[in-house]
Structure 1
Amino acid sequence: MTQAISGEGQAKGFGAHDLIVVAAMNILWGFNIIAVKMAVSEIAPLTAGFLRQILVLLVCIGSLRIMPGRMRALTALGILSGGAFYIATNLSLAITHHVGALAIAGQLGVPFSLLLAIFVFRERIRLPRVAGIVLSVAGVGLLVFDPTMVDEIPGLALTALASFIWAICSLIQRNLIGVPVLTIYAWIGLWGSIILGTIALVVETEAMWAIPHIPLRTFGWVVFSAVGSTVLGQGAMSWLLQRHPVSIVTPLTLAAPVIAVFATGWYFDTPPTMLMLTGGAIAMVGVAIVTIRTARAGDMP
């Protein structure tokens, strides 16, 4: 979601350093789903989310500052992105066995953000992006017909909800152009810590009191998710967008969900089924169409 903060970037040659950053960013995001799944399984969903947001806040706290004229947007973003998004995401991972399917369903955020832009900002789109939206939704919809997904529908529904929240956040970030990335994540970490911590104290009391006794290995999953995926991953995205146009950078993120599907299948020994691969391929084609066409139009959320 860093695209809207960083602007259009200046076109420069795409060198070896850029390719390394792109590869690292996609790997961090692709493997993040494993880290979050392990964290919510070994700690507790909301407590793990609270710890992640506390770490993000600690890393970014030096950039926490009042931004005149932007605080309403920063507060809304913090509540939604730091709180509501992680409640839906962590609960979905906690109850889902085939987590690779969630990586596919999570791509609904791209068509959702475009649909919201159409309804909220009255943006007009042409046939290719309409086709992309249809393909994205149809590809994810195929997962429901996979026999191995029968018990995973609640998790898929929660991921769809998280994607919708992400789409709302992407529109909010249009009002945050020029605000430093670390300042944005400092506020997300602050509000996320408050919201998740408060709810977790009520519904996951034992897990919250057990935080000092969390094994170092388990805590490492939270650190990877907070620092690796959020701070370094989003930082890499911001760095790329400062050097290259959004139309070049944004499509390069499409490798992350592909990595996530196969990485989770390998790590959790839940290889993707043929129907999942088919649905995922259709969804990714749709997402690619929407992402590339929107990026070229210069209004990618």
Structure 2
Amino acid sequence: MAFRDFILLFAVCLVWGLNIVLSRWVVADVGVPPLFFAAVRFTGVALFLIPFLRPKPEDLKTLFLIALMIGSLNFALLFIGLTTAEASAAAVTGQLGVPISTLLSMAFLGETIGWRRGLGIMLAFAGVVLIAFDPGSFGISVGLLYIVASAFIGSVGGILMKRMAPVTGLQLQAWVGLFSFLPLFLFSYLFESNQIGSYIGAGWPVWLASLFAIVGVSIFGHGAFYTLLKRYDVSMISPLTLMTPIWGVIFGIVLLNEPITARLVLGAAISLSGVFVIAIRPNRRMPEAALGKKIGPGDS
């Protein structure tokens, strides 16, 4: 990989890692309702990317289902999870999209795996279980369960994408934004309160965080990522995207003062080792499985 392209991928992973920390801050510390915050994000994506709605894809019904999976449902679960889960733990847990995508490609696309990827899948889940389970209280983090559900839904969306003719990264973002914001606003109206007041009252830092998510993540991050996917093989890029959860952990500790625990460090090491093993092994039926949720709207 050319050095300038590595720097570009480095920047993309940094943006993704920072954004999950900012999102956690908005919905947990500031208290903006998570469904409403997700709806605002997708509204901005749809508005910014209006020119990319053309040409219209042929299979809009399948695209609508994909948008629900990698857009509305994915981000609803992610942001609800972030209201209680720490950003550093969520950044690692979100990487379960990689083993889940691999398992789904086995179930629905006929992919076969060897013992190495099988071991990687077990390690990825074992590390997350170690992070999520508190042996002191014999409890498990409900927030991280939402993150796992988000990873699963996003991976299902990736499987559905195999049924569609290829579209560009920004065109996919445009249609996901268009199909996602109304369902999110509807569910926010039904299940949340004081949405507009809390969002406006939060002031410019939250508005800036929204703009960062729209422009920095959905437009720059995913646009640059899809550009790199056209230049390089998935097997080269996917292991390098593990910089994303590393940045998520670092920013969570530095910006949100999240504690560094032995359980977090050991669980992250085990889980990310498993994800790395899966990422470097080829998936013939669904090469994008090694990228997990990044085949859709990204990690955050």
Q: TM-score, normalised by structure 2?
A: 0.89
Q: 2:21 matched to which residue of 1? A: 34
Structure 1 residue 274 and structure 2 residue 257: aligned? no
Match of 2:5 in 1: 18
1:59 match: 48
Contact 1:70 1:175 in 2 (8 A): no
1:190-237: CA deviation from partner (whole Å, max 9, x where unpaired)? 121011111112222421366555512211111112221222111111
Count of aligned pairs: 287
User: 1:217/1:68 Cα in 2 relative to 1: closer, same or farther (>3 Å)?
Assistant: closer
What residue ranges of structure 1 are gaps of 5+ in the alignment?
A: 1-13
Identity of aligned residues (%): 29
* Structure 1 residues 295 and 16, CA gap change in structure 2 (3 angstroms): farther
Q: TM-score, normalised by structure 1?
A: 0.88
> What is the aligned partner in structure 2 of residue 162 from structure 1?
150
User: 2:10 is matched by which residue type in structure 1?
Assistant: A
Question: Mapping of 1:200-239 within 5 angstroms?
Answer: 200-208=188-196, 211=199, 213-239=201-227
TM superposition shift of 1:66: 6.0
Q: Unaligned stretches of 5+ in structure 2?
A: 290-300
Q: Residue 269 and residue 68 in structure 1: after superposition, are their counterparts in 2 closer, same or farther (change >3 A)?
A: closer
- CA–CA separation in structure 2 for the residues paired with 1:237 and 1:230: 10
Query: Of Structure 1 and Structure 2, which has the larger fraction of its residues in helix?
Result: 1
**Matching residue of 1:199:** 187
Q: Give the match for residue 70 of structure 2.
A: 81
State the Cα distance separating 1:25 from its structure 2 match. 0.6
- Per the alignment, residue 122 of structure 2 pairs with 134
* Alignment equivalent of 1:92, drawn from 69, 81, 84: 81
TM-aligned CA distance change 1:144 to 1:244, over 3 Å? closer
Any conservation in 1 of the 2:111–2:284 contact (CA below 8 Å)? no
Q: 1:295 deviation in Å? A: 5.7
Q: CA deviation at 1:256?
A: 0.6
Rounded Cα–Cα distance in structure 2 between residues aligned with 1:174 and 1:298:
8
Cα deviation per residue 1:13-67 (whole Å; 9 max; x = unaligned)?
x223212201111100111111111221322211111111111111111111464
**Are the equivalent residues in 1 in contact too, given 2:95–2:151 (CA < 8 A)?**
yes
Q: Secondary structure at the match of 1:95?
A: coil
SS in 1 for 2:271: helix
Distance apart, 1:81 and its partner CA? 1.5
Q: Measure the CA separation in 2 of the matches of 1:120 and 1:235.
A: 28
Q: 1:222 to 1:22 in 2, by over 3 A?
A: same
Q: Which runs of 4+ in 1 moved over 6 A?
A: 148-152
